[in-house]
């Protein structure tokens, strides 16, 4: 293997053997880490799919392998200590490190060769760079440097991942390849979720439910709440809703009966996953995203797309309401009762089919606790308290630069009014707390610029490119809301993937 050719030339082709290495690695991990064998099999199957589907684009093998392992995250890891539950390193860290070493060498070589520090920088890339720069500045603002340093490392990893996505999607052809790979992977995730729903067996052994040591005998319905290779149902809801939204947009531009039917089937199966995940935020986001895209198509006066988007909304609402009449699905619609989409009488019938009277009383107590009261118990109370605490701390107490990188958690601990919960459960509040008004403004500005550039290009560019811009728009809007679901997304790969792709989609025609 010619190292010089790899780091300064187009020798990335030499990494076609990475698939063989990855396959052998998965086989070894099946033996070493048998608890995660289902995840290793899934990865192995997708390595085979990459080898076959993208055989004419072997230069992308390393990129797709890294992307696969990054999305699967901690479920594909190398144990370093005596126990598999701790002291392990995610495989994608290793792959991403190798990628960045090659990228940096090539970047330096390009600078010396072309005498240009940056090539064709646009406004969104500049804003993103400024945000990352402010992340570094915030490290010095933080009081607790240990927490700040740990978070700085994770931000460095996420930034490296974003650089990889943007660098590998400079052209329309490259973006097509990435979307094709993500579509294939998404279908696999949907079917993995269905396996969990049907069998009642959790594929990965370290979900939030399992780690919380819940009584699955009394709460048997939790066995069928899918998480696939994500830590909790909210994280999975984040991903499955993006999959569902992506295939809905894809359906708008589908041609031919087979393609339309297939995309509609994936939407149906993804929605079943979403219902079983019990993620209220994700469901609201899906409906809101489709309503938004209908309004967007009306404003841009895309007649055919208006009709298709309205039909899509009727499809997902029909599936949702229709499945609510299945008595056995009652517990999975529990959080949806507040949305007034499903009738009260139907909810009552559902609850009686699966929940005991004692469990129903607990549900009622929980709903009562969810009435808004700062410092109170219950999900809604805690989330509102987390928001108000940061707003008061940054604005009222004049911490305009924030509490410093990772130190919002320390601020919550000092107030001690959130029942021990110190994650913001809201990306916008998290960056306001960590990075203050400057960091918040930069990231918000990034979203605004990306949205309007995609919207303008959607209206003015070629019809064949409208799918990309529609995806960019709806993913940005959806992600802005979905970040209210997981406890935190600063180290959540799907979040950075969507933002990086949005930057790439906005930039590809310029390049």
Whether 409 and 508 map to the same domain: the answer is yes
In a domain, 351, yes or no: no
In a domain, 358, yes or no: no
State whether the Cα torsion 190-191-196-199 is positive or negative. Answer: positive
Q: Is 324 exposed, middle or buried (0-12, 13-18, 19+ CB in 10 A)?
A: buried
In a domain, 215, yes or no: yes
- Where on the phi/psi map is residue 436: left (φ > 0), alpha (ψ -120 to 50), or beta? left
Whether 93 and 136 map to the same domain: the answer is no
Whether 82 and 196 map to the same domain: the answer is no
Cα 197 to Cα 205: distance, rounded to the nearest angstrom: 15
Domain stop point among 259, 289, 323:
323
> 434, 138 in Cβ contact below 8 A?
yes
Whether 65 and 79 map to the same domain: the answer is yes
- Mean pLDDT of the region 491-503: 91
- Tell me the average pLDDT of the chain: 81
Cα 97 to Cα 457: distance, rounded to the nearest angstrom: 34
Q: Check residue 131 and give its pLDDT.
A: 94
Domain stop point among 307, 323, 339:
323
Whether 221 and 114 map to the same domain: the answer is no
> 106, 113 in Cβ contact below 8 A?
no
Range with the poorest average pLDDT among 131-145, 165-179, 217-231, 355-369? 355-369
The boundaries of the domain holding residue 181 are: 174-323
Domain stop point among 284, 308, 323:
323
In a domain, 310, yes or no: yes
What are 286-335's pLDDT values in tens digits?
888 899 999 988 988 888 888 988 998 998 888 888 877 777 766 666 65
Whether 133 and 253 map to the same domain: the answer is no
Q: How many domains does the chain have?
A: 3
Q: Check residue 4 and give its pLDDT.
A: 47
- Mean pLDDT of the region 464-486: 86
- Mean pLDDT of the region 482-507: 86
Q: How confident is the model at residue 220 (pLDDT cuts 50, 70, 90)?
A: low
Q: Check residue 84 and give its pLDDT.
A: 46
What are 446-466's pLDDT values in tens digits?
999 999 988 888 887 667 788
What are 240-293's pLDDT values in tens digits?
999 999 999 998 888 888 889 999 999 999 999 998 887 778 888 888 889 999
Query: Please, which residues have CB within 8 angstroms of residue 460's CB and are 6 or more apart in sequence?
Result: none
In a domain, 471, yes or no: yes
Whether 470 and 381 map to the same domain: the answer is yes
What are 48-104's pLDDT values in tens digits?
999 888 888 878 888 999 999 999 988 888 877 655 445 678 889 999 999 999 888
Whether 156 and 223 map to the same domain: the answer is no
> 396, 432 in Cβ contact below 8 A?
no
In a domain, 356, yes or no: no
Cα 363 to Cα 368: distance, rounded to the nearest angstrom: 9
- Mean pLDDT of the region 123-137: 92
Cα 230 to Cα 208: distance, rounded to the nearest angstrom: 9
pTM, rounded to two decimals? 0.85
Whether 253 and 137 map to the same domain: the answer is no
Alpha helix ranges (H) inside 253-343: 257-277, 280-299, 303-323
Range with the poorest average pLDDT among 15-24, 330-339, 358-367, 498-507? 358-367
In a domain, 366, yes or no: no
Whether 214 and 231 map to the same domain: the answer is yes
Cα 175 to Cα 181: distance, rounded to the nearest angstrom: 10
Whether 255 and 189 map to the same domain: the answer is yes
- Mean pLDDT of the region 475-495: 85
From residue 505, alpha-carbon distances to 121, 123, 292, 472 in Å are: 14, 14, 20, 7
Cα 474 to Cα 480: distance, rounded to the nearest angstrom: 10
Q: Check residue 442 and give its pLDDT.
A: 95
From residue 375, alpha-carbon distances to 181, 390, 409, 434 in Å are: 45, 13, 16, 21
Whether 14 and 154 map to the same domain: the answer is no
Q: Check residue 108 and give its pLDDT.
A: 81
Task: Between 424 and 70, name the one with better pLDDT.
Answer: 70
């Amino acid at each position: 293997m010619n190292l010089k050719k790899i780091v300064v030339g187009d020798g990335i082709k030499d990494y076609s053997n990475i698939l063989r290495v990855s396959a052998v690695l998965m086989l070894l991990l099946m033996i070493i880490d048998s608890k995660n064998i289902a995840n290793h099999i899934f990865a192995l199957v997708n390595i085979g799919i990459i080898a076959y589907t993208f055989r004419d684009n072997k230069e992308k093998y390393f990129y797709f392998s890294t992307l696969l392992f990054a999305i699967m995250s901690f479920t594909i890891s190398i144990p370093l200590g005596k126990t598999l539950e701790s002291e392990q390193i995610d495989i994608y860290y290793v792959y991403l490190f190798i990628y960045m070493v090659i990228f940096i060498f090539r970047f330096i070589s390009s600078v010396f060769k072309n005498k240009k520090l940056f090539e064709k920088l646009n406004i969104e890339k500049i804003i993103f760079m400024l945000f990352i720069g402010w992340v570094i500045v915030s490290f010095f603002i933080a009081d607790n440097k240990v927490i700040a340093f740990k978070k700085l490392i994770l931000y460095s990893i996420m930034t490296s991942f974003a650089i990889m996505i943007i660098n590998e999607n400079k052209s329309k052809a490259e973006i097509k390849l990435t979307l094709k790979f993500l579509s294939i992977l998404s279908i696999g995730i949907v079917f993995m979720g269905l396996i969990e729903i049907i069998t009642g067996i959790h594929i990965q052994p370290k979900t939030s439910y399992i780690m919380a040591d819940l009584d699955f005998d009394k709460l048997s319905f939790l066995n069928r709440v899918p998480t696939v290779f994500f830590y909790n149902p909210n994280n999975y809801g984040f991903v499955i809703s993006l999959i569902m939204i992506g295939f809905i947009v894809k359906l708008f531009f589908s041609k031919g009966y087979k393609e339309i039917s297939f995309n509609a089937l994936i939407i149906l199966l993804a929605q079943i996953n979403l219902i079983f995940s019990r993620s209220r935020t994700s469901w609201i986001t899906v409906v809101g995203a489709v309503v938004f895209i209908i309004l967007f198509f009306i404003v841009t006066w895309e007649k055919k797309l208006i009709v298709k988007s309205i039909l899509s909304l009727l499809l997902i609402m029909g599936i949702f309401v229709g499945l609510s009449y299945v008595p056995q699905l009652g517990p999975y619609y529990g959080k949806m009762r507040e949305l007034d989409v499903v009738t009260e009488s139907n909810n009552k019938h559902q609850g009686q089919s699966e929940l005991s009277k004692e469990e129903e009383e607990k549900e009622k107590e929980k709903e009562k606790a969810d009435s808004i009261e700062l410092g109170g118990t219950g999900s809604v109370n805690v989330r509102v308290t987390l928001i108000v605490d940061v707003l008061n701390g940054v604005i009222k107490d004049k911490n305009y630069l924030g509490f410093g990188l990772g130190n919002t958690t320390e601020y919550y601990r000092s107030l001690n009014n959130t029942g021990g919960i110190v994650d913001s459960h809201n990306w916008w509040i998290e960056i306001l707390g960590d990075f203050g008004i400057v960091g918040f403004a930069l990231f918000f500005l990034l979203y605004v610029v990306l949205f309007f550039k995609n919207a303008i290009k959607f209206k003015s560019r070629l019809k064949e490119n409208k799918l990309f811009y529609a995806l960019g728009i709806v993913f940005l809007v959806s992600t802005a809301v979905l970040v209210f679901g997981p406890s935190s997304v600063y180290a959540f790969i799907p979040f950075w993937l969507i933002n990086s792709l949005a930057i790439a989609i906005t930039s590809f025609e310029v390049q």
